[in-house]
Structure 1
Amino acid sequence: MRTQTLPEARAITATPTRKRFFIMVLLFITVVINYLDRSNLSIAAPALTSELNIDPVHVGLVFSAFGWTYAAMQLPGGWLVDRVPPRILYTVALALWSIATIFLGFVGSFVGLFVLRMAVGALEAPAYPINSRVVTAWFPEKERATAVGFYTSGQFVGLAFLTPVLAWLQATFGWHMVFVATGGVGVIWAVIWYMVYREPRDFKGVNQAEIDLIKDGGGLVDIQTDTDKAKSGFSWKDLGIVLTQRKLWGIYLGQFCLNSTLWFFLTWFPTYLVKYRGMDFIKSGLLASLPFLAAFVGVLCSGFFSDWLIRRGHTVGFARKLPIIAGLLISTSIIGANYVDSTPLVIAFLALAFFGNGLASITWSLVSTLAPSRLLGLTGGTFNLIGNLAAIATPIVIGFLASGESFAPAITYIAVLALLGALSYILLVGKVERIELDNPR
């Protein structure tokens, strides 16, 4: 028997480093910035639309502008994620969408608003497929939902704590500064991401024990090397694979329903409080933070609870689907806001619904688990495309439903979609396992 060398023995006994959790923090900060740039228009909207004299139907169209290009660019964005390293692609996308956000601060017409929001949507398209790609490379399966839950919480905690700040900026310096400030932060972060991010084997301070822990646990630490070897042009066959799987359609449709609630909060929510519930802007800015805090708690509970179930011996499918289905069912409670007049009760129903949305928001962990390994980006892009059709539909549908005196039909619409999302996961997803290309069905 061969005697182990000293370096080999050290490698076996070394404690794994924990650099993957630093990567989790990087993704969290990036998501905070990403969602501030999606939602800043909702903060500025009451003052902006009044100044530019834009009616509710056209407000809905402006809110939807992001979604048109964001959805349309998902497949090209996913294709890029499979070919361009995250360090490069995220830097370029983040810098460009942040510059477009800054320009929004100087717009003076409906057309200008619409075009620049379309630009932000197109440039943000690769963001979440990149997040999924990074987590798949850096985390073993048993930690992946926690990682997804943690970075996803950035979209809620950032808005929860920073919405009052943006409301104050708008009230003190005007709506223009809301866009300039959020865009400026994004440009700075793009530089930081480029300087710091690396793949697992190239990241300074990562030891072999951590690499082995990730790889043995199902993480694809060599995904960039494998992707470089397998690079090819766009394939309709590959697109056919990700569009013809029942279980993938289960998560696609579920994501559309989940995002419908999210996009209500990212677009019409402040206007609902100010115009339909009669709150002043500063007060509504403070109250608007409460549902985002509830969603933040929900998403953290979801990731930790899901990974805890796996460690307790439950299947990946049960551990991932239980919080998603439960969260979507809880989100239907938003309909309760139609039946109360008290401001605390309205906020309570909205907070409970958004808590459910947060609880359900580890859906990207299923993309990582179900997608064919060489089509992570394309699957993620398709998932995000269909899911973010809600970014188009929700603002427009609500704009028409709320064109009268009552907002109740719009709230009912969101509740019904949440119920349909739960049914999609219950009836369509089935057994959770990676789709193999040699037996795609």
Structure 2
Amino acid sequence: MTVQDRPLKGAWGMTALLFLFMLINFADKVVVGLAAVPLTRDLGLTPEQFGDIGSAFFLLFAISAIVVGFISNRVQTKHTLLVMAIIWSVVQFPMLGMVSLETLIICRIILGAGEGPAGPVATHAIYKWFPDSLRGLPTAVIAQGSAFGVIIAVPLLNWIIEKYSWHWAFGALGIAGLVWAVLWLIFGREGTLVDAPVSNTSSGNERVPYRYLLTCPTILAACAAGFASYWGLALGLTWFTSYLVAGLGFSQKLGGNLTVLPWVFGALVVLAGGYVSQRLKRKGVSSRLCRGVVPCLTILAGGCVLPFVGAMPSDALKIAALVFGSAIGSTIYVVLPMIISELTPHPQRAAMLAITTSVVTFAGVLAPRIMGSMIQNAATPLAGYEQGYVILGLLLLAGGLIGLLFIRPERDRKRLAAHAVADLSLQPARA
């Protein structure tokens, strides 16, 4: 089987469209956190109720990711991506009318179900355009759709919230989603690149029983590291602006605009990490080092800083510690799908990307609710926030250490190859 050594023609055009796809995806996620203070004031919400809104987004997120992931093993990604974008758009428009807590929660649940598969399906789609050795940079670019979704959208959405209302911030995102859907309908195409098989003797029509994939130490360890990091991401989406405004006493305008800081830093980390990982891989460095050791060391660095956010002597240092600690480990979002792709046969890749994403993003169900409970029950809101960041730091230390010890793709690839079997459903029909 000939291994493709360069991207397909048009690969970077598809990367640009999927970058915009993820940009809108994360703008949809961050709008609730950005509007936290006026929204809770208008609806008369407690911190626990607002935490429930943040968690509601992730309630069906994981389930939807798994279901659509298995569908994407058989259905072209261009169709599933289009359906997702339409769902995102339509569900924003009820926010333009009279909104109750129940309406907001229902719409966020539906939005989460529509956005849950976005990351794995977009990654699966772009991997049909790039060979394994060249996936670091395009994976990082697509991952940066999340950061730029916040960096670009936050000032615009914050301006809309201040000048009009938080209702219109949701409406603007609905319109943006429809515009992307039209662009994708016109320009979106399906890649044709197929990965090399897991076992060297296979023709490529192979599969590994899911019980072996789902108990693979490398995959489990990568999920543990990703779960810890996503806990911090979920807190950033839901509570960061509120921490600045309600905790540190900043204005909505200043606090909202400062919300971009973790995402700017995270964007630099992810782009640099994706580039370095790809360069090392092209030079023959082991996946164990470039996709395991390096990212997990950055997660550990974040875990060492976050427990001390509350001890910082000034607001500026508190913000700096929080930004550094929560974003320095962001490279895991780039290397996790590459690890899964490296270990999973092509016919099962979409499903495994979805399953692992669902495990990682389950942190989003827990983190906002737990933080809300801590804020409501602490002596002061500020103390509640900072206790929540201590928990995040401990999770990062645990996840980073697990990843450092057990992410060993080369070893586990050999183990999985021993369990590879022919996938008869993919064999050509006999006359």
**How far is 1:54 from its partner?**
0.6
Contact 1:294/1:354 (CA < 8 Å) preserved in 2? no
The match for 2:328 among 341, 349, 356 is 356
The match for 1:195 among 186, 196, 203 is 186
Q: Whole-Å Cα distance in 1 between the matches of residues 281 and 346 of structure 2? A: 21
Q: Whole-Å Cα distance in 2 between the matches of residues 342 and 110 of structure 1? A: 36
Which position in structure 2 is the counterpart of 1:344?
316
Change (3 A) 1:17 1:84: closer
Amino acid at match of 2:279: W
Question: What aligned pairs does 1:25-424 form with structure 2 within 5 A after superposition?
Answer: 25-201=16-192, 218=195, 238-332=209-303, 333-362=305-334, 363-403=336-376, 404=378, 405=380, 406=383, 407-424=385-402
Which position in structure 2 is the counterpart of 1:10?
none
Structure 2: gaps (5+ residues): 1-5, 198-202, 422-431
Amino acid at match of 2:291: R
Contact 1:241/1:440 (CA < 8 Å) preserved in 2? no
Amino acid at match of 2:136: A
**How far is 1:300 from its partner?**
0.5
Secondary structure in 2 matching 1:73:
helix
**How far is 1:291 from its partner?**
1.7
Amino acid at match of 2:401: L
Change (3 A) 1:319 1:292: same
Secondary structure in 1 matching 2:407:
coil
Runs of 4+ in 1 over 4 A off after TM superposition: 15-18, 433-438
Secondary structure in 1 matching 2:271:
helix
| CA deviation string 1:244-272 (max 9, x = no partner) | 22222112222211100111111111111
| CA deviation string 1:22-62 (max 9, x = no partner) | 22211111110011111111111210111000100111111
Q: Whole-Å Cα distance in 2 between the matches of residues 145 and 42 of structure 1? A: 30
Q: Whole-Å Cα distance in 2 between the matches of residues 240 and 283 of structure 1? A: 50
What's the Cα RMSD here? 2.4
Which position in structure 1 is the counterpart of 2:409?
431
Q: Whole-Å Cα distance in 1 between the matches of residues 135 and 212 of structure 2? A: 24
Q: Whole-Å Cα distance in 2 between the matches of residues 18 and 286 of structure 1? A: 39
Q: Whole-Å Cα distance in 2 between the matches of residues 259 and 16 of structure 1? A: 30
- State the TM-score, normalized to the length of structure 2: 0.87
Change (3 A) 1:373 1:436: farther
- State the TM-score, normalized to the length of structure 1: 0.85
Q: Whole-Å Cα distance in 2 between the matches of residues 337 and 297 of structure 1? A: 22
Change (3 A) 1:191 1:16: closer
Change (3 A) 1:16 1:399: closer
Higher mean C-alpha deviation, range 115-124 or range 361-370: 361-370
**How far is 1:440 from its partner?**
5.7
**How far is 1:107 from its partner?**
4.8
Amino acid at match of 2:96: G
**How far is 1:239 from its partner?**
4.3
Secondary structure in 2 matching 1:39:
helix
| CA deviation string 1:172-209 (max 9, x = no partner) | 110001100011101110121122121235xxxxxxxx
Amino acid at match of 1:19: G
Change (3 A) 1:413 1:19: same
Question: What aligned pairs does 1:8-19 form with structure 2 within 5 A after superposition?
Answer: 18-19=9-10
Change (3 A) 1:271 1:136: same
Which position in structure 1 is the counterpart of 2:424?
none
Contact 2:226/2:332 (CA < 8 Å) preserved in 1? no
| CA deviation string 1:208-245 (max 9, x = no partner) | xxxxxx66xx579xxxxx99x99xxxx9x954343222
Contact 1:329/1:356 (CA < 8 Å) preserved in 2? no
Q: Whole-Å Cα distance in 2 between the matches of residues 424 and 178 of structure 1? A: 40
Amino acid at match of 1:372: P
